[in-house]
Chain A
Amino acid sequence: MNSEERLIYMANQIATNLATDAAPVAAVADHIQAFWDPRMKRMIFAHGTDGLSPVAAAAIRLLADAQNGG
């Protein structure tokens, strides 16, 4: 898989594993914020939510909004 496909895969994998968290969207967003480098974040923001699970997509939107807002 190429880098973009890998990021989508990773985001979904994180979301799947944090699905049982009390606040999964925030948990996924926090995880990506803490461990992904800025380029990886930019790439997934630019990609949008295609191929992302609902939790992963919501987390990416949350992060992107925070980025734009901040």
Chain B
Amino acid sequence: MTYQPQKDFGTPESRSDAAVSLTIDGREVTVPAGTSVMRAAAEQGTSIPKLCATDSVKSYGSCRLCLVEIDGRRGTPASCTTQVEPGMVVRTQTPQLAKLRKGVMELYISDHPLDCLTCAANGDCELQDQAGAVGLRDVRYDVQATHLGQEKDHSNPYFDFDPSKCIACSRCIRACDEVQGTLALTMEGRGWDSKISAGFASDNFMGSECVSCGACVQACPTATLVEKKVVEVGTPERSVVTTCAYCGVGCTFRAEMRGEQLVRMVPYKDGKANRGHSCVKGRFAWGYAQHQERILKPMIRKSINDPWRAVEWDEAFAYTASELKRISAKYGRNALGGITSSRCTNEETFLVQKLVRAGFGNNNVDTCARVCHSPTGYGLKTTFGTSAGTQDFDSVEDSDVILIIGANPTDGHPVFASRMKRRLRGQDGRPGAKLIVIDPRRTDIVRSPHIEAQHHLPLRPGTNVAVLTAMAHVIVTEGLADEAFIRERCDWDEYSHWAEFVSQARNSPENLQPVTLVDAEDLRAAARLYATGGNGAIYYGLGVTEHSQGSSTVMAIANLAMATGNIGRSGVGVNPLRGQNNVQGACDMGSFPHELAGYRHISDHDARSLFEKDWGVTLDPEPGLRIPNMLDAAVDGVFKALYCQGEDILQSDPNTAHVSAGLAAMECVIVHDLFLNETANYAHIFLPGSTFLEKNGTFTNAERRIQPVRKVMTPMNGLEDWEVTQRLAQAMGLDWNYSHPSEIMDEIARLTPTFAGVSFARLDALGSLQWPVTADAPDGSPIMHIDGFVRGKGKFVVTDYVPTDEKTGPRFPLLLTTGRILSQYNVGAQTRRTENVAWHPEDLLEIHPVDAEDRGVKSGDWVKLASRAGETTLRANVTDRVAPGVVYTTFHHAVTQANVVTTDYSDWATNCPEYKVTAVQISASNGPTEWQEEYEAFSARARRVESGIAAE
């Protein structure tokens, strides 16, 4: 469509159910009570001039431009701060108002540079628009003192700050406060000296607490805060609504374009996951999409010791198919397998698992959710009957108590964290929700501006189950369980068995304190708060799942929610925060080796028959290999070929030495990706991938929301990823003829009851749909288990604490836990190829001052991080954010390879790796380890291309 800015209603929407009718400029309009006159006017298409108002923040009433006349009222009230009243008669255009507005604008413009023609916001500037709207033709003042000529702040890599263009409307400050919740910006000085500041007077934007979410840039009505890309290439001329490809929040954006050039990604106000907000990754970190290191031609080689040879697509598909057929004939069909990606679309994921099941003839397909949220699938299916979270994101607005366990939302899921923080701060006289954080680290949300957790339980890594069982002990033994809910909704006998178990003295907080290191009184208080504080919602992340008892922890969480009746309505529930953009979707699409799309076991005859009939093949009724099992089988010499789409298992999976041994033992490793990633060092075939900007499809976010991904530019490699998989399938002899991903979704809907009502046409019409989308719920299901659990009765499962076998001892006395940081994403393949490296150029090891002093380590020192599995080096950051005995690092940088250190231990039910607990030792170091040096040399060799060296 032709470029149109998103409509700005001036003030936020009122959520009142009561309606108010009034007359504006002779036309009657009905709006919810609590709506401002400005918004009511905008709803009926009347644009009242404004500058300090925007609908993402509360009204402020400072610019005096939005004045109106109201019958029976004296003067000219500001329409942004005046609420509608029944029968009110408003005039927005009168000679008196015109005169006042022109006078206001004249003052503004008298202190504003008149460089519109060369200004980056020319044509997209509210000040310019309003000057035109009020008919300003002349500025009469002979101004001596101005704010012009001030130094610009170019420090942020993505946007500039030009204080000379600032009109001191404070929209940026309020956006930082109200939308993002960082409260970094402030107004420095008073009166004439007022100036927007990024913090202290000495701070520039980069040096301040600004997290570069872009809310201030979005709110700025002038070019004071403007994207560098707009300065560079000009304003956009069209826009396409699409879905972010970073984390599981699934923000909706407008990709604003000039031709095929992306100018900026702007958060979409109607996006139901993000409600118009964004973070530094989705908003700005998309430069990787056009990065020079992208591989755009297929490449093949006989051996990983050979250099790569670029070939045309036809040769690549023919060669790949011939290799797969050769290996199948020589070693048997079970020697082949595939890995689907949570970064790819539902349609692409569905095709990869279909290729494996129908083309390779086995069920050796797995997905990267194996290493993140597979315990969520197991745990929630067992207890509730559905492998998914129970709520939509809006639900948090109705929460009274928020319990976060093993998640760091301000870094991992920043846009949802902002919504959560808004609820925690309270608003408009409504007190904020109470907060319980269970985490070994003092994550940012524990204490941030206007937020302080009532309870932070800094448990010893690996003791989640013990902590949750102790909480259950308190709830049951103190009579806080919601027995009416349990009798109605759950299996009472199972509850009784569970209640008897958790009530045992050995499960009391006091008895478990030596194990968990959590103060028993604090734990008791937290349990009481969760059980009695009103609507209680649990949010969790990989700090729950990536443990040897990951599945048990998920079930322990479900037990707590059921025991307290916190399921089945807004404000409560069990909410897994998914790591990558399409973790939920990849799981939904039948990517696990034991399940068909819609979580139906492969041994289920009826489900299998449905697929067999549709696909015209016979499916193996036995489950296939999971990723770690594939690697074991490869080392054993029986698994020989792997099609790996959009994943970098060498960097992301645990125990790098074991992963590399498995990959090295294979005869045909096919990597389908944007870049020559670490796994590609062991690959024989490289199929270039396309970015989310270059293809059509859908992603499903953490709230089960299926959202369109729309192609805004031609794939640089020539093919969308689903086309690559289809061409490979055709080369293998499969009769696939999809002409558009919508046809793949039609097939998914045909074969998957929970997707029955999903189609591209409906997604286009509604924007998004939350599954299940069925005849009973044709517009989707924002909240699940409302009248009963999907499995019938909710199932309480006894979760006995079993300590991990990864033990500390004299050689490895510290516990390493890993995580991510706001500016980087997963293995960093995307974000490391953006300006985000300015915030996080390397992985650092967080270590407590006491542990650091014992080892003579200071911040910035190089240290060796050693475990039983391997060792690496990185620099130390001494901080009391981690408890004594615990160290922490991120895994974003290939050069660090944190997973050289992590072990093979995994969740008992799903084999999800135990990333979060590794016994380690730290010592001073003066250089890279032998592994790092060898790997760097190997990597350089493995990336050679016949015509030169492929950059990485």
Contacts and interface: CB of A to CB of B under 8 A. Distances in A.
A50 interface: no
Interface in A3-49: 3, 6, 10, 13-14, 16-17, 19-22, 31, 34-40
B800 A17 contact: yes
B497 A34 contact: no
A31 B382 CA distance: 12
A13 B908 CA distance: 6
A43 to B, nearest CB: 9
A38 B622 contact: yes
B909 A17 contact: yes
Contacts of A16: 802, 908
Specify which of A1, A16, A39, A40 lies most central, judged by the most chain B CB atoms within 10 Å of its CB. A39
Contacts of B623: 34-37
Given A3-B636, A17-B552, A39 B800 contact: no
A15 to B, nearest CB: 9
Given A16-B802, A19-B800, A20-B501, A37 B552 contact: no
A22 B496 CA distance: 13
Interface string B802-829: 1000000000000000000000000000
B13 interface: no
A31 B551 CA distance: 13
Contact of A34 (B551, B601, B638): B601
B908 A39 contact: no
B549 interface: yes
Nearest to B378: A35
Contacts of A13: 548, 908
B904 interface: yes
Given A6-B632, A13-B548, A20-B800, A37 B625 contact: yes
Interface range, B side: 20 to 34
Given A34-B601, A35-B594, A3 B908 contact: no
B635 A3 contact: yes
B904 A1 contact: yes
B136 interface: no
Given A31-B909, A34-B603, A37-B593, A3 B904 contact: no
Contacts of A22: 497
A3 B626 CA distance: 14
A16 B438 CA distance: 25
B632 A3 contact: yes
A14 B908 contact: yes
A20 B802 CA distance: 11
A68 B92 CA distance: 86
Q: Bin the interface of chain A by size.
A: 20 to 34
B448 interface: no
A17 B375 CA distance: 14
Interface string B145-175: 0000000000000000000000000000000
Nearest to B602: A34
Contact of B798 (A21, A36, A38, A40): A21
B549 A6 contact: no
B620 to A, nearest CB: 9
A37 B909 contact: no
A37 B636 contact: no
B334 A39 contact: yes
Interface string B626-669: 10010011011010000000000000000000000000000000
B624 interface: yes
A17 B633 contact: no
Contacts of B910: 35
Interface in B884-943: 904, 908-911
Interface string B134-145: 000000000000
Nearest to B638: A39
Contacts of B463: none
B629 A37 contact: yes
Contacts of B593: 37
Contacts of A35: 594, 623, 626, 909-910
B638 to A, nearest CB: 7
Nearest to A1: B904
A21 B797 CA distance: 8
A17 B555 CA distance: 12
Contacts of A34: 594, 601, 603, 623
Contact of B802 (A10, A17, A38, A40): A17
Contacts of B800: 17, 19-20
A7 to B, nearest CB: 9
A16 B909 CA distance: 11
Nearest to B631: A3
Nearest to B552: A17
B364 A14 contact: no
Contacts of A3: 632-633, 635-636
Nearest to A6: B632
Given A38-B622, A39-B638, A6 B594 contact: no
19 contacts: A3-B632, A3-B633, A3-B636, A13-B908, A14-B909, A17-B551, A17-B800, A17-B909, A20-B800, A21-B798, A31-B909, A34-B601, A34-B603, A36-B629, A37-B593, A37-B622, A37-B623, A37-B624, A40-B629
Interface of A: 1, 3, 6, 10, 13-14, 16-17, 19-22, 31, 34-40
Given A20-B799, A34-B603, A35-B626, 7 more contacts: A3-B635, A17-B800, A17-B909, A36-B629, A37-B625, A39-B625, A39-B633
For the complex of A and B, list the 3 residue pairs with the smallest distance between their C-beta atoms, beginning with the closest: A20-B798, A17-B908, A13-B908
